[in-house]
Amino acid sequence: MDHPAHQYPAHASVTPAAVPGVAGIGSEPGVTYAVVDIAEDGKQHLFTSNGGGALAERMGIVITEATADRVVGTMPVEGNTQPYGLLHGGASCVLAETLGSVGAVLHGQTVDRPFAVGVDINATHHKAARSGLVTGIAVPVHRGRAVATYEVVLEDEAGERVCTARITCLLRGA
């Protein structure tokens, strides 16, 4: 993991593992998972060696929490800007689709449809982000047997809403 966004905190205990219930995420060859215990918060955080895919890796996306009920991830603004130095709207959509798709995959595993592909995404950009990290939180709006829809809220480091997105994924069987 050579992208700066993938550096674990110094106090983290990193254990490479196959994470139960997360087999469908990053199913491409060579992807490894790590469960990271962070002493300060007592939670386990999920990371993949490629951030969830080649594009997510290039964007510096790190998934820090992943369940069918809530997916959280971060992305640096630096390197993901448009010519005016502001976070690119497309970058916000990449983060939103990544997080919503992870949630859809985790839900899909409960209905024997472990693969999710995005079929619709929309985003409203509320405020410009100029630096630091943006954090996205995806929560389900609808979880069915054939589709799952997640709302994703992106906030800057001050906790101000940057973008609200909604992604719908088609769920497919193995």
What residues are annotated to the active site? 97
Q: At CA 70, angle to CA 66 and CA 74, rounded to 5?
A: 65
SS3 83: coil
* CA atoms of 112 and 44, how far apart (whole Å): 25
DSSP letter for 125, please: E
Task: Write down the residue that tokens 């976070």 correspond to.
Answer: 87
Q: What's the chain's length in residues?
A: 174
SS3 43: strand
SS3 30: coil
**Cα–chain-centroid distance for residue 140?**
14
